[in-house]
A = this chain, B = another copy of it.
Amino acid sequence: MNSTGINKKRRVVIKLSGSIFNISDTYAKQDSIRRYAKMLVDISNTVQPVIVTGGGEIARHYISVARSLGSDEANLDIIGIEVSRLNAKLLVIAIGDTAYPQVPENLEQVTLAAESGKIVIAGGLHPGQSTNATAVLIAERIKASRFLNATDVDGIYDSDPNTNRNARLFKKLTIQECMEILRTESSMAGTYKLIDIVALKVIERSKIPTRVLRSNVSAIKHAIINHNKFDVGTEIVVVEPIPR
């Protein structure tokens, strides 16, 4: 089927925040993972999801111990990547047969895994690169039609929603507006977690439609099925400069 290229599903890359793996209570944790697994199997009838998982709390724990033992920073990145792969493995297990059984470790392995038509789950790939940036690179490489960045907030705001009750959520932003927000000192700290400049530059060069939204099974599902509605999260729009 894939070999004929007919009826191949559109691919969507979803970055899942490491926070869904954070719960230290075993039962609650497996419950959280199971709901994400079910949602991914559901949407796999419509698109081929390719997932990148974050490292979450356990990554931060290992990184903090390693740093205090004198680790260089590049090695900390590698440790974070390894924990994110353990998280990816949990999701592969929860999904079962519909998932590709291996957690790919570089772009070439991601490409071969995506050929299977199954749901692919990766962790981080390269030290020195946020999982956001990695997810966009993967989106480029497998020619995904969309990138969803599922985070711990509802999207990108005009000011910090934690301190400003009147902070307004953007429904759409151009890449340029998004970069401008990144550059503004005050909002940088919070926004940085949502999307970093490397990720934005890759989105820009490949013009990959991107949505930043809260990590939540129904929000993600909605954003996949109704991708033309802009009622959840913030869509980062890639606009071509108007030729004169």
Q: B-contacting residues of A (Cβ < 8 Å)?
A: 1-3, 5, 8, 24, 26-27, 29-30, 33-34, 37, 58, 61-62, 64-66, 68-75, 77-79, 82-83, 85-86, 89-90, 93-94, 96-98, 101-102, 107-108, 111-112, 115-118, 125-129, 133-134, 137-138, 140-141, 143, 183, 197-198, 202, 205-206
Contacts and interface: CB of A to CB of B under 8 A. Distances in A.
A116 B117 contact: no
B141 A75 contact: yes
A117 B98 CA distance: 14
Contact of A137 (B30, B82, B118, B128): B128
A117 B1 CA distance: 10
B94 A61 contact: no
Contacts of A116: 3, 115
Given A86-B82, A128-B134, A129-B126, A93 B69 contact: yes
Given A5-B98, A102-B112, A86 B90 contact: no
10 contacts: A27-B68, A33-B65, A72-B143, A73-B140, A73-B202, A74-B137, A75-B89, A75-B140, A77-B137, A128-B137
A66 B89 contact: yes
A116 B4 CA distance: 11
A127 B137 CA distance: 8
A102 to B, nearest CB: 6
Contact of A3 (B68, B94, B118, B141): B118
Contacts of A29: 65
Contacts of A133: 128
Nearest to A207: B73
A198 to B, nearest CB: 6
